[in-house]
């Protein structure tokens, strides 16, 4: 049976409730203030709701996980929310009307236990830089700020987040070169900065220090120069996205072939030259290629024009 309708105010009578998930039902309407009475609540997921979030949510002193997913909420999180020092997880996704341009700075310094922060699809407010205070979230393990209207450069304080294992800043307007402090995040398994305005060459330290990486997407930026041979040090890497950049020079074929875990390589729309060994194609399944949304093209002619996403057994002087 699928529950529908509005959230009843009687929900406030469930004072021993520890977990409440509205994503699995089809409730509509607004969030009742009575939710603030659920003092035992540890996990709260809000979905398919409109209106604004009541300040009473700031009374949930035991709340550790808060998610807002696919709502029509507007405004910002209540000020009282930022005094909830016990929070370890915050997810705001698919709720573009909720996120204001002051949301992120209000987190900084007030939530020392935060381990998982996801803020996606901010449509209101002006572009703003990533504040240097981000470095105060020392327990953070996952940071996803996607399509959040971030501009400026990556602050050096990002290097303080040494517990990070996944960092995604994709689909913003971040400029400048790769901050050296990024290379101090040696626990990173995933780094995704695609679809920004970053430029400059790829430092060898990106590959020599972040050797735990499984996923690296730096595509759709303005990076230039060649691919350092140190890329071969990423023995754990599975997926590498370099497409739609200004990279040039020969592909480090020997190093790429030695990366035994690499199953997805994307170099379309660059000025890279050389060949991708056909031996690599056997590793690249159709399922894995869709991670980049492309197709495999096997080009055999002597001087082919390369197009598409995967290029296998292909001698190219430029991929269009």
Average pLDDT for 138-152: 94
49 versus 228: the higher-pLDDT residue is 228
Residue 179 domain-assigned (yes or no):
no
CA separation for the pair 117, 92 (Å, rounded): 8
> Does residue 300 sit within a domain?
yes
pLDDT tens digits for 36-70? 999 999 999 999 888 989 989 989 999 999 999 99
Residue 119 lies in a domain: no
Count the domains in the chain.
1
Q: Are 212 and 237 in contact (CB under 8 A)?
A: no
Q: Which residue has the higher pLDDT, 223 or 133?
A: 223
* Residue 316 included in any domain: yes
Q: State the residue range of the domain holding 302.
A: 203-320
Q: Is residue 140 part of a domain?
A: no
What CATH number is attached to the domain comprising 242?
A: 3.80.10.10
For the whole model, what pTM was predicted? 0.86
Lowest-confidence range among 20-34, 112-126, 290-304?
A: 290-304
In a domain, 138, yes or no: no
Structure tokens at 222: 């303005």
User: Is 47 a domain residue?
Assistant: no
> Is residue 175 one of the residues assigned to a domain?
no
Mean pLDDT of the chain: 83
């Amino acid at each position: 049976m699928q529950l529908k309708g509005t959230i009843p105010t009687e929900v406030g009578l469930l004072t021993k409730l520890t977990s409440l998930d509205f994503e699995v039902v089809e409730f509509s309407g607004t969030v009742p203030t009575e939710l603030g009475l659920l003092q035992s609540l540890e996990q709260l997921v809000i979905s398919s709701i409109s209106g604004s979030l009541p300040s009473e949510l700031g009374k949930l002193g035991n709340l550790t996980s808060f998610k807002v997913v696919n709502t029509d909420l507007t405004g910002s999180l209540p000020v009282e929310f930022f005094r909830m020092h016990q929070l370890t997880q915050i997810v705001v996704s698919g709720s573009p009307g909720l996120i204001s341009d002051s949301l992120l700075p209000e987190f900084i310094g007030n939530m020392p236990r935060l381990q998982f922060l996801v803020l996606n699809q901010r449509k209101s407010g002006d572009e703003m830089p990533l504040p240097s205070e981000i470095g105060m979230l020392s327990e953070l393990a996952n940071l996803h700020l996607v399509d959040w209207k971030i501009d400026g450069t990556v602050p050096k304080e990002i290097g303080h987040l040494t517990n990070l294992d996944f960092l995604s800043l994709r689909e913003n307007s971040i400029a400048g070169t790769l901050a050296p402090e990024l290379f101090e995040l040696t626990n990173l398994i995933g780094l995704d900065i695609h679809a920004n305005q970053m430029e400059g060459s790829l430092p060898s330290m990106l590959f020599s220090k972040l050797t735990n990486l499984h996923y690296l997407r730096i595509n759709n930026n303005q990076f230039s120069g060649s691919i350092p041979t140190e890329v071969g040090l990423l023995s754990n890497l599975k997926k590498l996205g370099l497409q739609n950049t200004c990279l040039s020079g020969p592909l480090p074929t020997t190093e790429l072939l030695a990366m035994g875990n690499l199953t997805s390589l994307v170099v379309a729309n660059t000025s890279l030259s050389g060949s991708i060994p056909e031996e690599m194609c056997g590793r690249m399944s159709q399922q894995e290629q869709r991670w980049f949304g492309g197709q495999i093209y096997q080009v055999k002619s002597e001087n082919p024009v390369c197009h598409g996403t995967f290029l296998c057994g292909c001698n190219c002087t430029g991929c269009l």
